[in-house]
Structure 1
Amino acid sequence: MMNLLAATVAQGEEYSPLAPEPAELVVGSLAFAIVLILVGWKLVPAIRKTLEERTEAIEGGLDKANKRQAEAEAVYKEYRAKLQEAQREAGRLREEAREQGAAIIAEMKEQAQVEARRITEAAQAQIEAERQQAMQSLRAEIGAMSVDLAGRVVGESLEDSARQSRVVDRFLEELEGRARTQEQITS
């Protein structure tokens, strides 16, 4: 190159660093064409193949993502449906529990009323039995006293049981009649 520069300056031509030599231009053009052919023949198909693989991978990933998103939406909808069904079931169970509670309360009230009636009836029966027993005991005592009193008044003994019974019954009937008459007067 130095020789070329010296030869150009010796001829009186002006040297331009931007203007290449024709021989360099031919050699550079040939080298560029060879590199271009090699790149087009070997590298471009490999680059295209790599780009196609990446495109397919990206598209496949997008398809998978879309499918998974659709699956997720389906699962979400199913979850929401199950949640709503569970809420309806819970409401139904609460209502059933309320109804059962009301039925149990009504049944318990009824049982309590039946038990109260039974206890009241038993108490009344016991009171009536005790009253009857007291009446019989009182009749026997009053009868004995009235026979003794009548025997003293009459001056004779009323030992005969049939006679005693008639006297006692008459006396008690008179007492009961007087009691009824007084009740009617006070009423």
Structure 2
Amino acid sequence: MTVLWENIVITIIAFGILYWLLSKYAFSKLFAVMEQRRELVLGQLEEAKQTKEQANVYVEEQKAALNQARQEAYEIIEQAKQSSSKQARDLLEQAKQDTTRMKNEAIRDIENERNKAVESLRGEIGTFSVNIASKLIEREVENNPEEQEKLVNQYLKEVGSKS
């Protein structure tokens, strides 16, 4: 195989002309498009970075809001517990007071009823006593007038001391 120097020189000259034409007309436009593309990609990367930062900020804000909501819910629950405990204590205290009041009223009512019963019994006993005494007096009157007066005085003293 022989090397033709003429072909090599023509090829180098053709390549040089082609390079000069491409650099004059095509490379500047191609490089401009490539630069625009590079700037577009850099802009998109910057925008993605900002979006990611905004998303991270938003996530942190949501976490803070969630934590605050949890804290508020916990506080509401604690307040409800305290309120229910206070209401329970108040209800128990009221029930104790009502029980004490009802017990005192029942004791008073029982005492009143007992006093009424005692008075009623005294009245009945008095009536029976008078009947017995009258029967005894009748017997004694028939037998002894002096004993009758003594018996009446004694009975009046006994009835007077019981009242």
2:100 to 109, 117, 121: 117
Counterpart for residue 93 of structure 1: 76
Deviations 1:127-156 (A, max 9, x none): 122112212211111010000111112226
- Per the alignment, do residues 168 and 129 of structure 1 end up closer, same or farther by CA in structure 2, a change over 3 Å counting? farther
Match of 2:21 in 1: 38
More helix by share: 2
C-alpha distance in structure 1 between counterparts of 2:157 and 2:100, whole Å: 37
Match of 1:127 among 86, 103, 110: 110
- Aligned pair partner of 2:4 in 20, 29, 47: 20
1:154 is the counterpart of 2:142: no
Specify the alignment match of 1:55 in structure 2. 38
Gap change, CA 1:25 and 1:102, over 3 Å in 2? closer
Compute the displacement of 1:88 (Å).
2.0
The 2-side partners of 1:72 and 1:86 are apart by 21
* Structure 2 unaligned spans of 5+: 142-151
Partner amino acid, structure 1, of 2:59: Y
**Judging changes above 3 Å, is the alpha-carbon distance between structure 1 residues 25 and 61 closer, same or farther for their aligned structure 2 residues?**
same
Q: Which position in structure 2 is the counterpart of 1:72?
A: 55
Larger radius of gyration: 1
Provide closer, same or farther for how the CA distance between residues 56 and 147 of structure 1 changes in structure 2, counting only shifts above 3 A: same
Closer, same or farther in 2 for the Cα pair 1:145/1:35, shift >3 Å?
same
Q: Are 1:145 and 2:145 matched, yes or no?
A: no
C-alpha separation in 2, matches of 1:35 and 1:26 = 14
Shift of the 117–25 alpha-carbon distance from structure 1 to 2, 3 Å rule, reads closer
Unaligned runs of 5+ in 1: 1-15, 157-163, 177-187
Is 1:108 matched with 2:91? yes
TM-score by length of 2: 0.79
Following superposition, the deviation at residue 21 of structure 1 comes to 5.1
Q: Distance in 1 between matches of 2:97 and 2:15?
A: 117
Percent identity over the alignment is 26
TM-score computed with the length of structure 1 as normaliser: 0.69
Question: What CA distance in whole angstroms lies between the structure 1 residues aligned with 2:76 and 2:15?
Answer: 86
> Judging changes above 3 Å, is the alpha-carbon distance between structure 1 residues 168 and 65 closer, same or farther for their aligned structure 2 residues?
farther
**Higher RCO structure (Cα 8 Å, ≥6 apart):** 1
